[in-house]
A = this chain, B = another copy of it.
Amino acid sequence: MRIALAQINPTVGDLAGNSRRIVEYINRAKAAGAELVVFPELAIPGYPPKDLLLKPQFIADNLAALKSIAAQVHGIDVLVGYVEPNPHPVGRPLYNAVALLRDGAIASRHYKKLLPTYDVFDESRYFEPAPAGEQNNVVRIAGRPVGLSICEDLWNDEKMIPHRLYHENPIADLHAAGAEVMVNTSASPFVVGKHSFRLALFASQVKQFGKPLVYVNQVGGNDELVFDGNSVVMDAAGNVLAQAKDFEEDLLVVDLGKPAPSTGKPVLTPSAAQVQRFAEQTLDLEAQQKSPAAIESIYKALVLGLRDYVGKCGFKSVVLGLSGGIDSALTAALAVAAFGKDKVVGIAMPSRYSSAGSETDAELLARNFGIEFHTIPIQPAHEAFERMLAPAFKGREPDVAEENIQARVRGAVLMAFSNKFNHLLLTTGNKSELAVGYCTLYGDMCGGLAVISDVPKTVVYRLCKHINQQVGRDVIPRNTITKPPSAELRPNQTDQDSLPPYDILDAILHRYVEEEKSITQIVADGFDLATAARVIKLIDRSEYKRRQAAPGIKVTSRAFGFGRRMPIAQNYNQTLPKHGEASPRVE
């Protein structure tokens, strides 16, 4: 049985463009002699379509696209994801569906059973689960009974996910109904470390039922999510027979039955602790982020997420502020990797508080990458604001109000370049800053995409070193990496005037945001109570800034944005560790 895995990069909502791409891959699969070609989950609308699904016209147009694709199918079977209306008068109005296309028509329709509704997923908002017992997801293809499941349907594994959200296991049902081959169509977004977990989970399911698995994932960036591809064919013993590219479109053709040569990629078995953490939706970035492979995967995810966001929004070039610091240096490097040096514009905006080094570091970076570079000193506007505000601010000491003005002047300059030349403005803030609110709303937070807003500062350093290693020289200037980080909004300011050291901050941030640990648990992990309490308070109190932040690219198990929905006007003060409880000092 010859199967093609069509790992495509759809654009959300682009029914015409996605259909053209699907037909092109069908023809390529047919030319490669495949008997079946499989597309990702919701390939026709693209994943996630979000509230486009509430538009009846969108559903109708998606059905028309399916019909039009079906009419072009001859001499091959096709499994493609789309949205099907629920014909029953009770229940949610839609199904997350896969159609089997054959001989110019829709041969059968199959629905998802397990609907993820956590983190970035909202499927219960739209979809009714497949009615129990009402339909059979085992279909005969190329003479063999094939069991169809959609993404989450594969993820209710007792051994791998101790706290199970779902009462059914659709894979067990397919097994019971006589499926000999399992096919899963997915749209599973990237999180660092997730793919090795996926392989372990697939192996667990495959071994449990003794059936080979064909897993087809979406690839590409859609808003905050990057889909990493990595589609896989696994034999019944849990060996990877073939794996598609990561972070690229691919058509992988595999003969099931006669094993392909092994890719040599071992299936990793996660530790019990890793399994536990994943079950809590908290893959262990902290452990992962030290591995070179993890850093490489984050790098690739950011480049793809950046390229697709900008391109799918219809922009051809980007602009960003270059402060001479490491965050803007990393963002510039990612932009050059995504678009090429001719599509990236860097702007230095020195102020009276900028060090001499900042401007030369910014210029050196721009020269190293060969990008267009401008220097716009902000002193004239800075002074104008001071004069304008002097009467009202008379008798008051300078404070954060004056610091923020500088950041906002820079934001306005960058937005003027964006508006004038139609460059998309990239925001350069990292996750650590955004967490504690060490950033200026309408200032350095300006921009259409916050490229590294899910990357903690300690990982920013690792990524920069990784880039210099790959290039083989200090394309990101050494001084940018080694100097103490500073916002340069007042004389001799450094980040550590206001914040704990970044390794401490990031470790607390990881525990509080990704692991949902309490302050008591964080203190038990060895952190100072006062520091932990301060970081947590800063995180909680900065929610209002994050609500107005640009979308960022998710790389950790809990990014700020769509997957973390906190109230703003709230007043939760958690129970503190009891007086006298062990509180070892880290600082």
On chain B, the residues within 8 Å of A12 by CB distance are: 567, 569-572
Contact of A567 among B52, B54, B376 (CB under 8 A): B52
Pairwise interchain contact A58-B572, C-beta atoms closer than 8 A = yes
Q: Which 8 A-B pairs have the closest CB atoms?
A: A13-B572, A57-B518, A401-B419, A312-B569, A13-B570, A14-B571, A380-B384, A124-B124
**Smallest Cβ-Cβ distance to A412: which chain B residue:** B408
Minimum CB–CB distance from A317 to chain B (whole Å) comes to 15
**Smallest Cβ-Cβ distance to A17: which chain B residue:** B571
Can you tell how many copies of this chain the complex includes?
A: 2
Which of the listed residues A49, A54, A402, A551 has the most CB atoms from chain B within 10 Å of its own CB?
Answer: A54
In the assembled complex, the Cα of A446 lies from the Cα of B400 at a distance in Å of 17
Minimum CB–CB distance from A504 to chain B (whole Å) comes to 21
Minimum CB–CB distance from A348 to chain B (whole Å) comes to 12
Pairwise interchain contact B392-A381, C-beta atoms closer than 8 A = no
In the assembled complex, the Cα of A60 lies from the Cα of B550 at a distance in Å of 34
On chain B, the residues within 8 Å of A61 by CB distance are: 572, 574-575
Contact of A412 among B374, B409, B564 (CB under 8 A): B409
In the assembled complex, the Cα of A325 lies from the Cα of B570 at a distance in Å of 33
Q: Which of A307-331 contact B (CB under 8 A)?
A: 308-309, 312-313
On chain B, the residues within 8 Å of A408 by CB distance are: 408, 411-412, 415, 442
Can you list 24 A-B contacts with CB-CB less than 8 angstroms, sorted by A residue number?
A: A11-B571, A13-B567, A13-B571, A57-B574, A60-B575, A89-B162, A92-B165, A117-B117, A118-B125, A122-B122, A222-B569, A223-B567, A380-B388, A381-B381, A385-B416, A388-B413, A389-B413, A392-B417, A401-B416, A402-B416, A404-B415, A412-B442, A548-B548, A548-B550
Q: Which of A409-441 contact B (CB under 8 A)?
A: 409, 411-413, 415-417, 419-420, 441
Given A58-B574, A442-B412, check contact A122 B565 (CB 8 Å). Answer: yes
**A50-75 vs B, Cβ < 8 Å mask (1 yes, 0 no):** 11101111101100100000000000
- Say if the beta carbon of A383 comes within 8 Å of chain B: yes
- Say if the beta carbon of A393 comes within 8 Å of chain B: yes
- Say if the beta carbon of A290 comes within 8 Å of chain B: no
